[in-house]
Amino acid sequence: MADERLVAARVAALFDVSRPAYYATVANAGLLLLVLWEAFPEALLLAWFGTLVALTFIRVGLHRRQARAGNPDPRRREAYFALGAFAAGALWSFPAAVFFPADDEDDRQLQQQDLRRQTREPSRLRDERHGCAIVTSSGPARESQK
């Protein structure tokens, strides 16, 4: 009995704080759509945006239906919420995978430049126990006393 009330309170709190997230999802997706508009095919962007907006409307509809229900099963509400959150997360991973691929040549060149810069510029690490600084560079590590 107490466990069921705890589950019901947790799920009610989850649904209470989720409403702003639904609006933020559409707003953030709209901003990303504007930023990527000229860089990628419009049909692909609109398909992603439309799917995300449709999913958000479905989630809002389920939210309202569950709110109107007299005494809904909290575990079922939680399952619906988790399914919607999982689907939204999957849709949000789409831009990262499609619009920003990991094997992009420009990204690879920037990583190589960063690696070369890091190996050329010495960095200092402080060893507090022994009161010395360790200087590292592309050569072997050297220790110096202060």
Judge if 45 and 113 occupy the same domain.
Answer: no
pTM value > 0.75: no
Judge if 30 and 85 occupy the same domain.
Answer: yes
Quote the pLDDT of residue 104: 62
Judge if 87 and 53 occupy the same domain.
Answer: yes
Domain count, the chain: 2
Query: Going by C-beta distance under 8 Å and a sequence separation of 6 or more, which residues neighbour residue 110?
Result: none
Judge if 116 and 96 occupy the same domain.
Answer: no
Judge if 79 and 127 occupy the same domain.
Answer: no
pLDDT above 80 for 70: no
Distances (CA, A) of 38 to 9, 44, 59, 94: 46, 12, 30, 18
Judge if 29 and 54 occupy the same domain.
Answer: yes
Domain of 24, in residue numbers: 2-100
**pLDDT tens, 7-65?**
888 888 888 888 888 999 999 999 999 999 988 899 999 999 999 999 999 999 888 88
Q: What is the DSSP letter of 126?
A: E
